[in-house]
């Protein structure tokens, strides 16, 4: 289209927003105003807000395309975005206008917001980190694009039936999703199957093409990622799989209509569902298809944009582009970029490798060796024959480097090989990612140290400069400003409002910590947030939390290493004390536990059931009364955390030291003034460093102590030597919590007595109970608790994802700001 006058910018005032809200209600949705349904009201409002994003989005795109500046791409199988409306309003600074518009119609903003489903396209920490990172990139005006998969079904919805987890599909797109824009003209073709064919090109060079493939289309759906009050709007591009027309046409013409439709289905399966396990699932073909689908579509997209702007000269490509791999999940991108550059753009191996290995960067998120991703070579070869050829060539050249550095050390070559030999050879995805990347990072200081000394030791000896730490962070927009508006106001009136983008400024609170007015307001805000959390608990669990009691919360995926069991042992211990009458000088406590178990993780599901059984005994015992309450919150998700973190007093971060890479929930709680009870694990260490040991309840073995105790770990004698612990075990083993379900908890309970318990739960029981006692005492001392709470918020500045992203940019991406 030629020379079109741009529309004037949309107004941001009440009248303009009101006008567009009504226009969308009447003209876009065809709703009769007096009969409008709440869903229509939500959609009309969302569209009015989206219009305001749209013009900034276009401007950002034009600016980024014309500047020729370097760009980064965040490749991730997961983006746990949560809701978009509140976030967009906050970042556009139109909350007040919207509120007053709705007020005119007798509507509450909160009710309207509740019409939006969570975009739950992630399992937990890794997916939510990706979402926080996008927010920070936009807020720092960094040209970063998120690339992911548009799953039709996100993380399952968790229901609790008879105390046990039941999974229900999450069809989050059912009511249409107003925040996405389909961009069919950027559709990419993804190949699967077939074989490599060698040929000689017109110049006489020998080349390879990948033929006889089944092709799947990747159709992009873009979502706007607004920065905070800065007019930058970045893009999250999610790929949806579709059957290719050409493929269908052949089948139609051959008169095989049902077969052609079946094929269509198979293609579309690729983006159907998020895998709901948060430690790698080995060998599922569909998962590997998803990984390749994302990697190939995204790389083709970036290359096509490059060629459009620069032609097929790739000399400056590495200077202008950087790919950040969110764990190994998209790491087949290393081989895929090689393939595209060589087969499609005719680069030599050396030139392609130079580009690949200077544009790829890999972030590791796990210390559990069993969670390192591996794929059978046979499966890889069936699905991606051409890609496997390239992986083998990468490995051959890589092993040559290893043997140059350590001549004759064949054991080391075997250890470091990207291909693990054995009866069923496997591709080690982490090693492919390390070999193909110029940067490898862990997500907290301890995690990175342990990677360097342990999991990736050999690689670190070969390439010490590749390895670096980037301690995680979370976005203060969602996790403080939006989820805790009352605290936001109190902060603004005490230290000004600059903390929203410069979180270090929260430290200015420290100077006001003894201000009586602030302290009283601080407590009132916490009470108000606890009231909201208690409402949620009442509604979703049917349990009454007394807001005067200490709100003690552990929400995260259910995993043995995260030790929800240790938390439960403490609850049973408190229950036992109450029953024995040892409850003088008691601190009333309300314990909340929430989280999803992977559907195939038997132990995790048992833990959920045990929590619910203990809860029903504790909550129904009149002798316990208000002293102790326990609730399991069903369907923990981003939107629930927004209520939970604001209303929490005590944050449970109790993983076995050396197992939790970082944790990010710990940071959200801290920002909102909760105090942590935790081990020296992941980012807990850095949280404690920031806030000071007097404002943190520490317990448990260190990572080093865990490993040195392991060979002679003897839980039986630990339990025997500790009366309180013995009584807790006796209660559990007597079947007190499963009187009508004999034996159902045998495996879980036995794990605590097992000398091979990898998580060494018994080892930390006593120090944990003691630290809990300290926390209970501190809570009784209102003045002390208030100081601790204020200082936790004040010292949380480091844990802004703005700081994390600034470090990624300085050390890895090097984008102009
Ligand atoms: C891999 C292959 C096949 C199927 C599933 C997976 C898979 C999916 C998700 C493996 C792992 C995950 C998620 C891992 C995760 O969330 N890790 C967490 O990352 C956070 C952000 O860095 C850290 O704070 C947590 O410590 C870490 O557990």
pLDDT tens figures, 288-302: 999 999 999 999 999
What confidence score (pLDDT) does residue 684 get?
98
Tell me the average pLDDT across 225-254.
85
| Mutate-to-test residue for ligand 1 from 78, 279, 665, highest number of ligand atoms within 8 A of CB | 279
From the list 488, 556, 559, 589, the catalytic residue is 556
Q: Which atom of ligand 1 is nearest to the CA of 123?
A: 9
331 lines ligand 1 (CB under 6 A): no
The secondary structure element, H or E, covering residue 449 is helix 445-453
The answer, yes or no, to whether residue 248 has pLDDT greater than 70, is: no
What confidence score (pLDDT) does residue 370 get?
86
Residue 278 CA to ligand 1 center (angstroms) comes to 5
| Mutate-to-test residue for ligand 1 from 277, 327, 365, 447, highest number of ligand atoms within 8 A of CB | 365
| Mutate-to-test residue for ligand 1 from 126, 430, 669, highest number of ligand atoms within 8 A of CB | 126
Q: Does residue 95 contact residue 102 with C-beta atoms inside 8 Å?
A: no
Of 183, 280, 175, give the one whose Cα is nearest residue 224.
183
Give residues with Cβ within 8 angstroms of 489, minimum separation 6: none
3-state secondary structure of 672: coil
What confidence score (pLDDT) does residue 656 get?
98
What confidence score (pLDDT) does residue 250 get?
59
Tell me the average pLDDT across 619-633.
98
Specify whether 284 is catalytic. no
Q: Does residue 279 contact residue 253 with C-beta atoms inside 8 Å?
A: no
Each residue's pLDDT tens digit, 301-340: 999 999 999 999 999 999 999 999 999 999 999 999 999 9
290 lines ligand 1 (CB under 6 A): no
Tell me the average pLDDT across 554-572.
98
Residue 660 CA to ligand 1 center (angstroms) comes to 10
Q: What is the pTM of this model?
A: 0.98
Name the percent of the chain lying above pLDDT 90: 93
What confidence score (pLDDT) does residue 623 get?
98
pLDDT band at 257 (very low <50, low <70, confident <90, very high): confident
| Mutate-to-test residue for ligand 1 from 131, 156, 364, 366, highest number of ligand atoms within 8 A of CB | 366
Specify whether 664 is catalytic. yes
649 lines ligand 1 (CB under 6 A): no
Q: Which atom of ligand 1 is nearest to the CA of 683?
A: 24
Using CA atoms, how far residue 201 sits from 67, 196, 204, in Å, is 36, 15, 5
Specify whether 556 is catalytic. yes
From the list 668, 688, 795, 798, the catalytic residue is 668
**Phi, psi angle pair for 808, to nearest 5°:** -55, -45
For 374-473, where are the E strands, in sequence order?
A: 374-376, 419-420, 426-428, 439-442, 467-469
Tell me the average pLDDT across 648-663.
98
What confidence score (pLDDT) does residue 587 get?
98
What confidence score (pLDDT) does residue 259 get?
75
The answer, yes or no, to whether residue 43 has pLDDT greater than 60, is: yes
What confidence score (pLDDT) does residue 258 get?
77
Tell me the average pLDDT across 84-109.
95
> 48-84 as b/e, with b when 16 or more CB fall inside 10 Å?
bbbebbebbbeebeeebeeeeebbbbbbbbbbbbbbb
Residue 557 CA to ligand 1 center (angstroms) comes to 10
Tell me the average pLDDT across 401-425.
98
Give the Cα separation of 270 and 264 in Å (integer): 11
What confidence score (pLDDT) does residue 185 get?
97
The secondary structure element, H or E, covering residue 262 is helix 257-269
The answer, yes or no, to whether residue 667 has pLDDT greater than 90, is: yes
| Atom 14 (ligand 1) nearest CA | 278
The answer, yes or no, to whether residue 374 has pLDDT greater than 70, is: yes
Tell me the average pLDDT across 613-626.
98
pLDDT band at 252 (very low <50, low <70, confident <90, very high): low
What confidence score (pLDDT) does residue 696 get?
99
Specify whether 96 is catalytic. no
Q: Which atom of ligand 1 is nearest to the CA of 661?
A: 26
469 lines ligand 1 (CB under 6 A): no
Each residue's pLDDT tens digit, 462-478: 999 999 999 999 999 99
Residue 598 CA to ligand 1 center (angstroms) comes to 12
Specify whether 187 is catalytic. no
Each residue's pLDDT tens digit, 484-504: 999 999 999 999 999 999 999
Each residue's pLDDT tens digit, 707-744: 999 999 999 999 999 999 999 999 999 999 999 999 99
Mean pLDDT check: name the lowest of 153-157, 261-265, 537-541, 727-731. Answer: 261-265
3-state secondary structure of 472: coil
Helix axes 746-753, 602-619, angle to 10 degrees: 100
| Atom 13 (ligand 1) nearest CA | 278
What confidence score (pLDDT) does residue 782 get?
98
Each residue's pLDDT tens digit, 51-92: 999 999 999 999 999 999 999 999 999 999 999 999 999 999
Mean pLDDT check: name the lowest of 206-220, 271-285, 667-681. Answer: 271-285
From the list 191, 365, 386, 589, the catalytic residue is 365
Residue 70 CA to ligand 1 center (angstroms) comes to 28
Specify whether 580 is catalytic. no
pLDDT band at 249 (very low <50, low <70, confident <90, very high): low
DSSP category for residue 156: P
The answer, yes or no, to whether residue 247 has pLDDT greater than 70, is: no
Give the Cα separation of 138 and 141 in Å (integer): 5
């Amino acid at each position: 289209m030629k020379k079109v006058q741009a529309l004037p910018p949309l107004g941001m005032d009440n009248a303009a927003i009101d006008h567009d809200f009504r226009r969308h209600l009447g003209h876009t949705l065809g709703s009769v105003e007096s009969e409008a349904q709440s869903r229509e009201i939500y959609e009309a409002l969302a569209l009015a807000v989206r219009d305001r994003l749209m013009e900034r989005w276009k401007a950002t795109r034009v600016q980024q395309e014309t500047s020729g500046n370097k760009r980064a791409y965040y490749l991730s199988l997961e983006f746990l975005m949560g809701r978009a409306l509140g976030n967009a309003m906050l970042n556009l600074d139109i909350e007040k206008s919207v509120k007053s518009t709705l007020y005119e119609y007798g509507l509450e903003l909160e009710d309207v917001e509740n019409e939006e489903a969570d975009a739950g396209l992630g399992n937990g920490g890794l997916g939510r980190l990706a979402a926080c990172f996008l927010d920070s990139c936009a807020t720092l005006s960094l040209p970063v694009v998120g690339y992911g998969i548009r799953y039709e079904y996100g993380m399952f919805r968790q229901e609790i039936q008879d105390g046990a987890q039941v999974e229900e599909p999450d069809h989050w797109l059912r009511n249409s999703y107003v925040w996405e824009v389909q961009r069919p003209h950027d559709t990419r073709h993804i190949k699967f199957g077939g074989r490599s064919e060698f040929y000689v090109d017109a110049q006489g060079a020998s080349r390879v093409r990948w033929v006889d493939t089944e092709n799947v289309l990747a159709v992009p759906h873009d979502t706007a990622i607004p920065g905070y009050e800065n007019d930058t709007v970045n893009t999250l591009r999610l790929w949806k799989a579709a059957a290719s027309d050409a493929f269908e046409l052949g089948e139609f013409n051959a008169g095989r209509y049902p077969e052609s439709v079946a094929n269509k289905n198979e293609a579309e399966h690729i983006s159907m569902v998020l895998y709901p396990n948060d430690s790698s699932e080995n060998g599922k073909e569909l998962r590997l298809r998803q990984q390749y689908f994302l990697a190939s579509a995204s790389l083709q997209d970036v290359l096509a944009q490059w060629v459009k702007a620069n032609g097929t000269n790739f000399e400056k490509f590495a200077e202008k582009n950087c790919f950040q791999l969110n764990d190994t999940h998209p790491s087949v991108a290393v081989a895929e970029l090689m393939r595209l550059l060589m087969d499609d753009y005719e680069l030599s191996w050396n030139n392609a490798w130079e580009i690949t290995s200077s544009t790829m960067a890999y972030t590791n998120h796990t210390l559990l060796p069993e969670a390192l991703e591996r794929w059978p070579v046979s499966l890889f070869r069936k699905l991606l024959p051409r890609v496997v050829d390239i992986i083998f060539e990468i490995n051959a050249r890589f092993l040559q480097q290893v043997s140059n550095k350590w001549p004759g050390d064949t054991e080391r070559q075997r250890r470091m090989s990207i291909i693990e030999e054995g009866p069923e050879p496997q591709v080690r995805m982490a090693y492919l990612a390390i070999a193909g990347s110029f940067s490898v990072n862990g997500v907290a200081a301890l995690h990175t140290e342990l990677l360097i000394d342990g999991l990736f030791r050999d690689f670190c000896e070969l390439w010490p400069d590749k390895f670096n730490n980037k301690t995680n962070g979370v976005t203060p927009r969602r996790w403080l400003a939006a989820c805790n508006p009352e605290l936001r106001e109190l902060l603004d009136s005490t230290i000004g409002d600059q903390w929203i983008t410069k979180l270090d400024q929260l430290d200015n609170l420290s100077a006001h910590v003894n201000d009586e007015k602030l302290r009283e307001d601080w407590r009132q805000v916490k009470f108000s947030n606890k009231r909201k959390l208690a409402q949620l608990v009442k509604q979703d669990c049917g349990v009454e939390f007394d807001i005067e009691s200490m709100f003690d919360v552990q929400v995260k995926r259910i995993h043995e290493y995260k030790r929800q069991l240790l938390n439960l042992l403490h609850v049973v211990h408190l229950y036992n004390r109450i029953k024995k009458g040892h409850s003088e000088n008691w601190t009333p406590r309300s314990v909340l536990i929430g989280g999803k178990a992977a559907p195939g993780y038997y132990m995790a599901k048992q833990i959920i059931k045990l929590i619910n059984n203990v809860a029903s005994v504790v909550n129904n015992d009149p002798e316990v009364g208000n002293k102790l309450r326990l609730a399991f919150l069903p369907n923990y998700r981003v939107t629930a955390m927004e209520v939970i973190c604001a209303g929490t007093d005590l944050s449970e971060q109790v993983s076995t030291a050396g197992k939790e890479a970082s944790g990010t929930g710990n940071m959200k709680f801290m920002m909102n003034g909760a105090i942590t009870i935790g081990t020296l694990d992941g980012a807990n260490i850095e949280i404690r460093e920031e806030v000071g040991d007097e404002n943190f309840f520490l317990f448990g073995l260190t990572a080093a102590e865990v490993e040195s105790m392991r060979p002679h770990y003897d839980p039986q004698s630990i339990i025997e030597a500790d009366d309180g612990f013995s009584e807790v075990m006796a209660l559990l083993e007597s079947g007190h919590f499963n009187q009508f379900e004999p034996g159902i908890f045998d495996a879980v309970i036995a794990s605590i007595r097992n000398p091979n318990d990898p998580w060494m739960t018994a080892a930390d029981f006593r120090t944990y109970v003691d630290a809990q006692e300290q926390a209970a005492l501190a809570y009784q001392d209102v003045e002390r608790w208030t100081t601790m709470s204020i200082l936790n918020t004040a010292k949380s500045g480091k844990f802004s994802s703005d700081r994390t992203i600034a470090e990624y940019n300085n050390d890895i991406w090097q984008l102009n700001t």
